[in-house]
Structures are given as C-alpha cells and as structure tokens.
Amino acid sequence: MKILSWNIWVDGDFEGFKRFVSAADADIIGLQEVKDDDPGRDVIGYLENLGYRYAFARTEQIWDGKVYRHGPAVFSRLPVIDFATYLLDEEDERAVARVDVDLDGTTVHIFSTHLIHTHQKPSAQQEAQATKLIGLLPSEHTVVMGDFNATPDSKAITMMKEVLTDTDPSSTPTWSTHIEGCTICKLQVVNTRLDYIFISRDLKAHSFEVGQSEASDHLPISVVVEI
C-alpha cells in the first residue's frame, strides 16, 4: 500500500493540495492541520468524494493570538475495520487519529499525529507526547506518520526509533517552503526534517519519496509498505 503523509498547513493552498493528492494516488493518506469548519477548504469532503474513509482528531490551539481548530486525520481507500482518536496532551491539545485497515487479509494499524512545535529545541512536553503515543501503538502491523515537529537527533524521534523503523534513514529535509510557516524560525529554505513515516519491525518499506509542492509550508512524504 502506498502511504502519503503531509502537514497541509491551516493557511495552505487548497487547489495545490488537491492537485498533488489526486496525482499521488495513495491508498492511505495521513494529514495534519486539517480543518473541518472551513467550507472554502473542505479537505474531508474532497477526499470522501475520491473514495476515502477517515478518522479525524480535532484539536484547538492558539498561535500568535489567533484560535485554530484543526487536527490530524487518516484517510483510507482500503477497507476500514475500526477507527479511533486519542488525546496526547490536554494542555496543548495534541492528538492522534487511528484507522485499522484490511490489507490482503491482515489488519494494519495506521496512525497520524502532530506534536507540539518547539522551534527545534528540546522539550519535555514534546517528549511526553511521544511517550503517550508510543504507549498506544500495537507491536505489529503498525504505521505511524505525521509532523513530529522534531529533528532526527531529538529525544522524541530517538524514542520513536527505539520501537519503530524510520522509513527514511537519510533524513531528507521537509520544511520550510514558506517563511510564514513559522514567524519565529523564519526558515526560507527547506533544510529541516520534521515529518516522518515509521513502521513496526515486521513490515517492509521501499520507494520513500519527498514530494514537491508549494501548497503547504511542509513537503509531502510517501512510501510503499508491504506485509
């Protein structure tokens, strides 16, 4: 199954998003910063019309004095067996969405999440969110993706790698394509990795790719996963 993960940015280009996603033709799509209350940017409705079923974990955060209601989601064209959402942090309202799908008779557990942004600095809160996420994961047939807001050498990612396999060991940068993506970091080039797709040790992955799109401040990533 082809898996695509992308933080599509609450201020992202919806038309650019649609062009990339329709061309990607992924079986599973894990998104972050999805909004369900913006009729001009109906991500959920668009993907439903393409045949995807989904789980969406809505959260609320305040950035630069403005309230944003958004969250991670998993969309699947494979048969959905079950789905759930979990809160990782009540203070910062970070969450994870889970969809269990049927892949050739095997149940695979798919997670999409979005951890707190710490401007690439060590964070006990981010590490606590990662710890709670790890506690939710089955040991087999598991895929975890998302914007972890953590660099490859961070404690949060180190913890993830202790239990899962990183499908991009070369750590290709994924952020930031737009300086407006973080007014504090002000990155004008894509030189930082924040986005990951992890798999449990029993699964195999190949054909990892960082896609090219200016629809978001993050670049989309994809991989093919096999049982």
For the stretch 69-117, pLDDT in tens is 999 999 999 999 999 999 999 998 999 999 999 999 999 999 999 999 9
Q: Tokens 């062009």 belong to which residue? A: 19
Identify which of 33, 8, 27, 35 has the alpha carbon closest to the alpha carbon of residue 19: 8
Give the domain extent around 187: 2-226
Angle 124-136/155-163 helices, nearest 10 degrees? 20
Q: Does residue 123 have a cis bond before it (omega within 30 degrees)? A: no
Q: Report the residue count for the chain.
A: 227
For the stretch 150-209, pLDDT in tens is 999 999 999 999 999 999 999 999 999 999 999 899 898 999 999 999 999 999 999 999
Query: For the chain, how many structural domains are there in total?
Result: 1
Element (H, E) at 75: strand 66-76
What is the CATH classification number for the domain harbouring 217?
Answer: 3.60.10.10
**What global pTM score does this model have?**
0.97
